């Protein structure tokens, strides 16, 4: 059973992209692309490449064995490759040739992050649409601007809404740019590509084309691509948290500038309507801000590969993605039920 808190802060659609089925499917897709490209370049026999692709298409993993392998090896790929080689029969020795576990895991993650970013971008469009609707319907209403928590000067609801929309529009462009920049990882055991021979750069470009990712030099110990995505997520939730904080303050009884629909009842005070949706946005913003700091520590990478920093990414990034997805859904719902007071 999922934690009760998932009802408030969870996002099943985003969470599903980090579940075993999605992860294994992405890893297998990378292995198939590697074999296809190697077959086309003559690094392995084309017939063996075809057999490996067929084995991937029909592959049914032994998940308990994968879990045991992960606990033993610290990564799932050695056991996955063992199973895939067995499934590929006589082509088995040509599975995973020249590659290292990090090549497969990082590239598979990029494939899943592309889907994550597409989902988030669609949801961000929905939030922006709700802000635009409020602007069209109620933008002319007069509000009292607040600076340093004190009444400042009158302005309009449209002015307020613009302070929410502008950064979100910039974040929308950032998500689009991130999705187009997600890089392939292919460096071999020590990250210099030497294990792939003279055709390395052609191989890398072919795999990138097959997977629709950006061709890139190996980034085994440079975790900038991961941090770029994480920062994009934290910026989105940070702005949504600011919107949530603004709405909670505007909806206070003594201010009464905004009315919020929905629940928010109290077990002890029946007259109250707590701004739960707004509060969740604030909590998720602070959560992701903290996780971004934790994830930034993965930049400290010992020499050519760090098991510790790598594992840290696996712990933190899925939580950030799920928090961002939930914040976007919650923000759209909150804005849909918000009205500026007469």
- The one-digit pLDDT tens for each residue of the chain (342 residues) are 778 889 889 999 999 999 999 999 999 999 999 999 999 999 999 999 999 999 999 999 999 999 999 999 999 999 999 999 999 999 999 999 999 999 999 999 999 999 999 999 999 999 999 999 999 999 999 999 999 989 989 999 999 999 999 999 999 999 999 999 999 999 999 999 999 999 999 999 999 999 999 999 999 999 999 999 999 999 999 999 999 999 999 998 778 789 988 765 544 444 547 788 999 999 999 999 999 999 999 999 999 999 999 999 999 999 999 999 999 999 999 999 999 987
Q: Write out pLDDT tens, residues 44-76.
A: 999 999 999 999 999 999 999 999 999 999 999
Encoded tokens for 63: 């998940």
Report the SS3 class of residue 183: strand
CATH of the domain spanning 102-184+219-340: 1.20.200.10
The domain ranges of the chain are 102-184+219-340
pLDDT at residue 264, rounded to an integer: 58
pLDDT at residue 1, rounded to an integer: 73
pLDDT at residue 107, rounded to an integer: 98
Distance CA 121, CA 325 (A): 10
Encoded tokens for 342: 């007469």
E-state strands within 213-253: none
Q: At a CB cut-off of 8 Å and minimum separation 6, what does 122 contact?
A: none
Q: Does this model's pTM top 0.75?
A: yes
Angle at 7 between CA 333 and CA 243, to 5 degrees: 35
């Amino acid at each position: 059973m999922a934690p009760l808190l998932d009802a408030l802060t969870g996002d099943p659609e985003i969470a599903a992209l980090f579940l075993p089925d999605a992860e294994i499917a992405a890893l297998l897709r990378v292995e198939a692309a590697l074999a296809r490209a190697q077959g086309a370049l003559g690094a392995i026999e084309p017939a063996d490449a075809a057999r490996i692709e067929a084995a991937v298409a029909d592959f049914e993993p032994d998940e308990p064995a994968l879990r045991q392998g992960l606990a033993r090896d610290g990564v799932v790929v050695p056991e996955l490759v063992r199973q895939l080689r067995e499934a590929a029969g006589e082509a088995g020795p040509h599975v995973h040739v020249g590659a290292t576990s990090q090549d497969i895991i990082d590239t598979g993650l990029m494939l899943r992050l592309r889907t994550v970013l597409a989902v988030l971008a669609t949801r961000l469009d929905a939030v922006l649409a709700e802000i635009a609707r409020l602007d069209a319907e109620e933008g002319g209403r007069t509000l009292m601007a607040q600076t340093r928590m004190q009444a400042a000067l009158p302005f309009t609801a449209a002015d307020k809404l613009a302070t929410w929309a502008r950064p979100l529009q910039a974040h929308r462009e950032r998500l689009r740019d991130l999705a187009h920049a997600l890089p392939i990882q292919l460096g071999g055991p020590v990250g210099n590509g030497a294990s792939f021979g003279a055709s390395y750069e052609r191989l890398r470009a072919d795999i990138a084309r097959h997977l629709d990712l950006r061709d890139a030099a190996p980034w085994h110990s440079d975790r900038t691509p991961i941090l770029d995505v994480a920062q994009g997520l934290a910026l989105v939730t940070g702005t949504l948290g600011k919107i949530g904080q603004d709405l909670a303050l505007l909806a206070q009884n003594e201010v009464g500038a905004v009315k919020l629909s929905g629940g928010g009842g109290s077990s002890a005070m029946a007259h109250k309507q707590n701004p739960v949706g707004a509060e969740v946005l604030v909590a998720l913003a602070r959560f992701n801000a903290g996780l971004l700091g934790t994830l930034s520590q993965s930049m400290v990478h010992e020499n050519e590969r760090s098991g510790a920093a790598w594992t840290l990414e696996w712990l933190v990034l899925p939580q950030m993605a799920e928090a961002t997805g939930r914040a976007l859904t919650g923000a759209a719902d909150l804005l849909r039920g918000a009205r500026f007071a007469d």
